[in-house]
Structure 1
Amino acid sequence: MSVVAVIPARWGSSRFPGKPLEARVAGVALLQRVWALAKAAPGVGEVLVATDEPRIRDFVEALGGRAVMTDAACRNGTERMHQALARAGLADRPAINVQGDAVLTPPWVVGALARALGEADGADLVTPAVRLGEAAYRRLVEQKRAGQVGGTTVTFDRQGRALYFSKQIIPFLRDIETPLPVFRHIGLYGFRPGALERFVSLEPGPLERAEGLEQLRALENGMTVRVVEVDYRGRTHWSIDSPEDRLVAERLIAEEGELLAAWDGSARHREEEQEKT
């Protein structure tokens, strides 16, 4: 069963209103970039944009994509994803929530989640993480010491099932030994059919409220979350939350190159070709 990629996209943003369309990154609208990257992901059969803004719907349809109108009352992207799948008649399909502002998400990372959703390991959710090298670990330590909140880490068991997610660096390292058992979490989530329905029916628990991490709701309620280790292949993960973030994204693109050759939804790579890049 092919996977649906859902991109929640809303107009309102306190720091960057209208960013799905107004934030043009190296000449291409933010939402268009994310939509094209999702379409290029191996294993993804359909891409939906879930929005409450007619301007976003019209933009996506002009690209030849599919947009689903959702209620403005949706509290977050997960609820918007759930409603969009139901209204599109796709609630029985495995689905991946692709962040609408994660403009540098490699298609092979989304593809890794699509592949994991096709494996019969029984996990309710799948989510990616990157193992940190020593240099990246020390940078993250310094960022935390400086008071930066960004950067979530995750621990998991030998079967890859998540044990805990935290804004702190976990596990605590008494000694530095390589490879480091420290994994930085990437905020993409794949849900098996039925798991998303259950997830949105649950209320936030004390751990989710304490950390401000929605994924802890699954663990607090006994849902299984499989962590998929991915390799960014020398590329930098980046999201756009402010106009300044757009400039950083453009600098990274200039340094690392574009992920796709075209942004019209036609750049479709076979998985075996991506593995060679």
Structure 2
Amino acid sequence: MKIIAVIPARYEASRFPGKLMQSLGDQSVILTTYQNVVDTGLFDDVFVATDSQIIFDEIIAHKGKAVMTGEHETGSDRIAEAVENIECDIVINIQGDEPFLKLEPLKQLIQVFKEDTTKEISLASLKIKLLDQEEIENPNNVKVITDQKDFALYFSRSVIPFAREKSLPINYFKHIGVYAFRKSALLNFSKLEMTPLELAEKIECIRYLESGMKIKMIETDFVGVGIDVPEDLEKARQILKEMKS
């Protein structure tokens, strides 16, 4: 089973344009992410998938591997184009703006497919328990509910489940956007039209569910350092400084 990692990378991020080319230590954010993924030793190959010549050149100049793609609405669609002609079985999506990785969740995602001898699982992803009520109600946090075998039932920006019965304990989970795809499922996904629910919620996972694909959810306690705004970059620089001290 050949397992690769793909890092989708857009230059024109709406909240922080050019963030992936900002300096983090003595190199760019995207190069730091790429090298950290390679250094895990978990993957047979690692690629950056981008529609930016600047990002493409950055990776190639440092002897990395990059694939130019067209413009896409979702990261899954971009990765699907990137891997169409790459020989592999499993594709792990690593966020380009989260340079600091934790090995254990990645190992768990890979293990899902090693144990899936019947190949019923199309993709696997991560969830983390939400404890703060403000975080639970925040529409920027995509919530997920699962069945008793931890297969996703639905994703929403609304509060799910709705606690009508107040006396019962309810667990709320946030979806962490790290995916492991079976390549065949990823390519099938890219051929499907966006669904009304996906468009309404702006959550690409819903397209998988509505087409009947199974998504296995793994609970984690890992909170990544996502660089969405300039303030996040300063936090990442401080973390890097502490890691090297």
TM range (shorter): 0.7 to 0.9
* Alignment partner, residue 50 of structure 1: 49
* Alignment partner, residue 118 of structure 1: 114
Distance 1:2-1:45 versus aligned 2 partners, 3 A rule? same
Q: Show structure 1 runs of 5+ residues with no match.
A: 262-277
Q: What SS does the aligned partner of 1:140 have?
A: helix
Deviation at 1:8, TM superposition (A): 0.9
Deviation at 1:224, TM superposition (A): 0.7
Q: Is the 8 A contact 1:42 1:111 kept in 2?
A: no
Deviation at 1:251, TM superposition (A): 4.6
Letter in 1 for 2:227: I
Q: CA separation in 2, counterparts of 1:14 and 1:67?
A: 22
Q: Is the 8 A contact 1:3 1:44 kept in 2?
A: yes
Q: CA separation in 2, counterparts of 1:137 and 1:110?
A: 26
1:140 aligned to 2:135?
yes
Q: Show structure 2 runs of 5+ residues with no match.
A: none
Q: Is the 8 A contact 2:10 2:51 kept in 1?
A: yes
Distance 1:176-1:42 versus aligned 2 partners, 3 A rule? farther
Distance 1:107-1:65 versus aligned 2 partners, 3 A rule? farther
Q: CA separation in 1, counterparts of 2:159 and 2:122?
A: 25
Letter in 2 for 1:5: A
Letter in 2 for 1:100: G
* Superposition pairs of residues 16-31 of structure 1, within 5 angstroms: 16-21=16-21, 23-31=22-30
Displaced runs of 4 or more, over 4 A: 251-254
Q: What SS does the aligned partner of 2:56 have?
A: helix
Q: What SS does the aligned partner of 1:150 have?
A: coil
TM-score, with length taken from structure 1? 0.77
Q: What SS does the aligned partner of 1:163 have?
A: strand
Q: What SS does the aligned partner of 1:250 have?
A: helix
* Alignment partner, residue 63 of structure 2: 64
Q: Deviations over 1:189-211 (max 9, x none)?
A: 11113101111111121221221
* Superposition pairs of residues 201-220 of structure 1, within 5 angstroms: 201-220=191-210
Q: Is the 8 A contact 1:44 1:114 kept in 2?
A: no
Q: Is the 8 A contact 2:11 2:20 kept in 1?
A: yes
1:127 aligned to 2:125?
yes
Q: Deviations over 1:41-100 (max 9, x none)?
A: 4632211111122322222123332111222x333322221111124x22x421011121
Letter in 1 for 2:209: L
Q: How many residues align?
A: 240
Q: Is the 8 A contact 2:48 2:65 kept in 1?
A: yes
Deviation at 1:253, TM superposition (A): 5.2
Provide the aligned C-alpha RMSD in A.
Answer: 2.3
Q: 1:247 aligns with which of 200, 209, 234?
A: 234
Richer in strand (by share): 2
Q: CA separation in 1, counterparts of 2:31 and 2:17?
A: 17
* Alignment partner, residue 86 of structure 1: 84
Q: What SS does the aligned partner of 1:187 have?
A: strand
* Alignment partner, residue 38 of structure 1: 37
Letter in 2 for 1:83: E
TM-score, with length taken from structure 2? 0.87
Letter in 1 for 2:9: A
* Alignment partner, residue 188 of structure 2: 198
